[in-house]
Structure 1
Amino acid sequence: MPAAFGIGAKTRQNDLDIAFQFSFFTGTSSGENGVAGYGAAGNNTLNIRQAFLSFGDASWGTIKAGRDLGVFGSDAILSDMTLLGVGVGGPAGGSSTLGRIGSGYIYADWKGQIQYASPIFNGFQVTGAVVENFRPGSAYNKDNLGYEAKATYDFAANDVTGRVWVSGITQKSEGTNNYTSRGFDVGAKASYAGASVVGYYYDGEGLDGQTVLGGLFNANGQKSKDSGGYVQATFAVPTIGTKLGASWGVSNSKAANGTSFDIENESWIVGAYHPLTKSLNLVAEYTQQEIKNNAATGSAVKKTENDTISLGAILFF
């Protein structure tokens, strides 16, 4: 993840819980200075991913307005063990690694939105948002809003805790091509005595950006057929606290015309995450990734393989 510094505050006034949050992100990589497309800053710039206010009450719910993580696919990325590591983004460079983005789920991204989250009823909650249009390029207008929604159920029974969720997304794109992106996902996670498992699946049209950056919403600029998911298992070693994990995931994206591209982005990841202190974690990961374009012909690249070993540390304070 990029380095981040957050500023927020909350209080209660006139029977309302009100709050705000600003979070400033910047990468730690020096990038590729001197390479076309990279400036003197090495592609390391300040990115304000969160800037929102919220107000509400436990009796009727919460309204959020501003920029924050999208609703669709948010539980998939927040359940990913590689958030504390590198995942499939090792060879890509840039200011941030990718985790499983594009090889198991679509990036929820940071979106301008107005969101409503209901009260929690016996573990059940629904969330809906009207979001800013994510167009695939300047040849498309931003007149159409996007719509995202999610339902979650949190449970706890006999020392087993977990969550089940479903979410959906729809957005019209008008420009070079006119089409509607739409999709749904379903996922579940459960934990017991230091062990945790996650299962996730998504399906839809016009979702993925495998030809631009895997997992980037709507970047292909067409009504591609997209699907994928991931499974993950982790175990925290008693007394020591080291979390050991393994996961497999894949994302598939096929062109609307059936011939331009047919991409399969598959990866295996194993990792170890050790809490040296309550704030400092040491990280070790190995990733094996294979990207195939089944529609490639002639001299076009048909398969790319990436093997990544990463070692590092992450600090929360």
Structure 2
Amino acid sequence: MSANVGIGVSVATGSSIAQNNDVDVRQAYLSFGNDGMGTVKLGRDYGLFGFHSIISDMTLIGVGAATNATQNGRVSLGHIGSGYTFPGMYGQAVYTTPNMGGFSVDLGLMSPTNNLSTAKKDNLQFQARATYAGQGFKAWVGAKTQKYDGVGGFTMNAGEVGGSVNAGAFGLLANYQGGKGIGILADGDQGGVKGNNLLLQGTMQAAQNVKLGLGYGRSKNDSAFTGSDLRSNENLTAGVYYNLTKSVTLVGEIGQTRSKGFSGASAKQNSVAIGGILFF
């Protein structure tokens, strides 16, 4: 049995006099089970689809694409929108099978999402994931679906496949997502457009306390409603991660993000990021 509540706090905004005390409760759930029956989780947590890719992304503790996104002063993007769609946070009921020689299956019933404002949100979302984890190796496949009714309605159907391997000082990660209504940042945020995401990452443990990494991500829409719609985002990030102590990791990154539209317009952003993270 366990329970978890995660609270994120804003630390940087565009105002020097605002309270800066907004909090973001993304996780609030309980779980119970045993080796024989598996595990049941009830509450609010990240989704199954895309979770393995984001949790393995080296930029999770860094910055990646240095863009304000939807939460100015709160979070950076990493490779969200340029490598994978955000796993999302859902009210959910998830069953995880017992571990069967490294193989497990997760089945989830998620609260409806409504990231496309013209669609109703009265249809539950279903997610599923199968994972195999061995010595230094992990592979997964996942899927999600939800029907969006109303004006511009569509059915989101998306799948993913990925894997990671660690051999000695080297690590590799690859993940691919695709489907109708998968969205750039979140479920269905581009309507019923077909799209795909690709994430590739390589890391090297250069010294006992130093890890080097290079990550590339691309998110692409296959079609558009209007000529000004987004065609693709790409991000390339190189990072150095130094474990100062068991609890403190210092981070340095350089990166470039490129965006293209169906109209032919394009934009480029170069970024440098330095900072640290405390684990406790």
TM-score, normalization by structure 1: 0.83
Distance in 1, matches of 2:172 and 2:114, equals 35
Instruction: From 25, 33, 44, give the equivalent of 2:15.
Output: 33
Instruction: From 103, 123, 130, give the equivalent of 2:109.
Output: 130
**1:115 paired residue number:** 94
Give the counterpart letter for 1:81 in structure 2: M
Instruction: From 121, 135, 147, give the equivalent of 1:142.
Output: 121
Instruction: From 160, 171, 177, give the equivalent of 1:196.
Output: 171
| Residue 256 of structure 1: how far off its partner (Å) | 5.4
Are the counterparts in 2 of residues 254 and 262 from structure 1 also a CA contact under 8 Å? Answer: no
Instruction: Say which SS state the counterpart of residue 83 (structure 1) adopts.
Output: helix
Identity of aligned pairs, percent?
Answer: 33
**Closer, same or farther in 2 for the Cα pair 1:176/1:89, shift >3 Å?**
farther
Are the counterparts in 1 of residues 94 and 107 from structure 2 also a CA contact under 8 Å? Answer: yes
1:296 pairs with 2:275? no
Are the counterparts in 2 of residues 254 and 261 from structure 1 also a CA contact under 8 Å? Answer: no
Are the counterparts in 1 of residues 178 and 196 from structure 2 also a CA contact under 8 Å? Answer: yes
Instruction: From 181, 185, 197, give the equivalent of 2:156.
Output: 181
Distance in 1, matches of 2:223 and 2:115, equals 15
Instruction: From 258, 275, 279, give the equivalent of 1:312.
Output: 275
Give the counterpart letter for 1:21 in structure 2: N
1:229 pairs with 2:198? yes
User: Which consecutive aligned stretches of 4+ in structure 1 deviate over 6 angstroms post-superposition?
Assistant: none
Instruction: Say which SS state the counterpart of residue 278 (structure 1) adopts.
Output: coil
**1:246 paired residue number:** 214
| Residue 162 of structure 1: how far off its partner (Å) | 1.3
Give the counterpart letter for 2:263 in structure 1: A
Instruction: From 16, 20, 23, give the equivalent of 2:6.
Output: 23
**2:233 paired residue number:** 265
Are the counterparts in 2 of residues 91 and 306 from structure 1 also a CA contact under 8 Å? Answer: no
| Residue 246 of structure 1: how far off its partner (Å) | 0.3
Distance in 2, matches of 1:251 and 1:138, equals 22
**1:217 paired residue number:** 187
Instruction: Say which SS state the counterpart of residue 40 (structure 2) adopts.
Output: strand
Distance in 2, matches of 1:23 and 1:146, equals 23
Q: Superposition RMSD on alpha carbons, in Å?
A: 1.8
> Please, which moves more after superposition, 70-79 or 87-96?
87-96
Gaps of at least 5 residues in structure 1 are: 1-17, 210-214
Give the counterpart letter for 2:74 in structure 1: S
Distance in 2, matches of 1:216 and 1:137, equals 10
Give the counterpart letter for 2:141 in structure 1: V
Larger radius of gyration: 1
Distance in 2, matches of 1:155 and 1:258, equals 46
| Residue 260 of structure 1: how far off its partner (Å) | 5.5
Instruction: Say which SS state the counterpart of residue 76 (structure 1) adopts.
Output: helix
Distance in 2, matches of 1:153 and 1:27, equals 36
Paired residues in the alignment total 278
Are the counterparts in 2 of residues 247 and 269 from structure 1 also a CA contact under 8 Å? Answer: yes
Instruction: Say which SS state the counterpart of residue 96 (structure 1) adopts.
Output: coil
